[in-house]
Amino acid sequence: MTEASALPRPASAMTPVPYLVRDRVVENRDSATLCLEPVRDRLPAPRPGEFMMLYAFGIGEAAISVSGLAGVTDPTISHTVRAVGAVSRALHDALPGRVIGVRGPFGTNWGLSDATGRDLVIVAGGVGLAPLRPVVLAALADPDRFGRVTLIAGARSRDDFLFGDQLAEWASGRAIEVHRTVDIPIQGWAGEVGLVTEPLRRLPIRPERTTAFLCGPEPMMRGCAEVLTGNGVGAADIRVSLERNMQCGIGWCGHCQLGPLLLCRDGPVVTYDIAAPLLRVEEL
């Protein structure tokens, strides 16, 4: 029995476990990162790409991706929350000392173990950088594990990037090649302007040894996948994180159905050979 499997579990997968907001970092005008620690019992450590259901007591629950690395010995979990509704606003505004209910981890993960020895191409649009941050952190933690690592991050403007200080730190180092591009070049921006597909098109790719990770708006992911497949990367080597209305986390309610998939159970991370035909169907 592993240490993780020996951890106390709630009576039901639908029972929230209380976690305390230990720290809160404001990322931009509508997003904040919460570091949560267990009040008593702890849940198993989530893997990069998985999500948790976070419950703002008295308001409601929302599926939020994990935005940091978690280990067996580290009980904390990091989530980056964008305030877009009543529940996410309450979570976003939670200050240190506030108790939040947590369920999970749920869903599929980025499958980093299968990418060992391969080049990583990581493309994030807007808040899509949050679920991909654990991939970057894993690559930085073990630089000999992977080949060439490239991160392309896009945002509306300079002020809309998540993890701004970390992005600058990553860009100044040699472990990862970083491209930052914006839609609106406000005063003081000296970087790239345009869609994330532009630096992706210029990227020298070794298709036979490349694994790509995409997260962001669906049109962005489709466009990036088309660039990658056009350069010879197999659709099965492109992983996308899909978003639908996840309410239970365990495939009971069906709200997150996408064709034959229940994304809380069969996703959110799927390979593009599975996602492509589903994303072509309007309003699916």
Residue where a domain stops, chosen among 86, 106, 126: 106
Q: Identify whether residues 134 and 268 lie together within a single domain.
A: yes
Residue 146 lies in a domain: yes
pLDDT of residue 1: 38
Domain edge (last residue) among 78, 106, 134: 106
- Over range 201-214, report the average pLDDT: 97
Helix (H, G, I), strand (E, B) or coil at 202: helix
Q: What is the pLDDT of residue 189?
A: 84
Same domain, 143 and 254: yes
Q: What is the pLDDT of residue 190?
A: 83
Could you report the per-residue pLDDT of 65-91, keeping only the tens digit for each? 999 998 767 899 999 999 999 999 999
**Same domain membership, residue 236 and residue 165:** yes
CATH of the domain at 92: 2.40.30.10
29 and 128 together in one domain:
no
CB 43 within 8 A of CB 102: yes
Which pLDDT belongs to residue 204? 96
More confidently predicted of 187 and 116: 116
What proportion of the chain, given as a percentage, has pLDDT over 90?
87
Range of the domain at 102: 17-106
185/261 same-domain check: yes
The count of C-alpha atoms lying within 13 angstroms of the C-alpha of 273, restricted to the half-sphere facing its C-beta, is 5
Average pLDDT on 97-102 reads: 97
Both 128 and 32 in a single domain?
A: no
Mean pLDDT of the chain: 93
Which pLDDT belongs to residue 118? 98
pTM, two decimals, is: 0.93
Measured CA distances, 21 to 48, 98, 194, 223 (Å): 20, 5, 37, 37
Q: What is the mean pLDDT of residues 1-5?
A: 41
Q: In the chain, how many domains are there?
A: 2
Q: Are residues 154 and 267 in the same domain?
A: yes
What kind and span of H or E run contains 131? helix 129-141
With a pLDDT cut of 70, the percent of the chain lying above it is 95
CATH of the domain at 129: 3.40.50.80
Q: What average pLDDT score do residues 248-274 get? A: 95
Mean pLDDT score, 177-183 = 95
Task: Give the mean pLDDT of 207-221.
Answer: 97
What integer pLDDT is reported at residue 101 of this predicted model?
97
Mean pLDDT of 190-201: 93
Q: Report, as an integer, the average pLDDT of 114-128.
A: 97
Q: State the Cα–Cα distance between residues 202 and 214, nearest whole angstrom.
A: 17
Other Cβ atoms less than 10 A from the Cβ of 71: the count is 9
Clarify whether residues 160 and 188 are in a common domain: yes
270: pLDDT strictly greater than 60? yes
Q: Do 227 and 86 share a structural domain?
A: no
Domain boundary among 73, 106, 139: 106
For residue 148, pLDDT over 60 is answered with yes
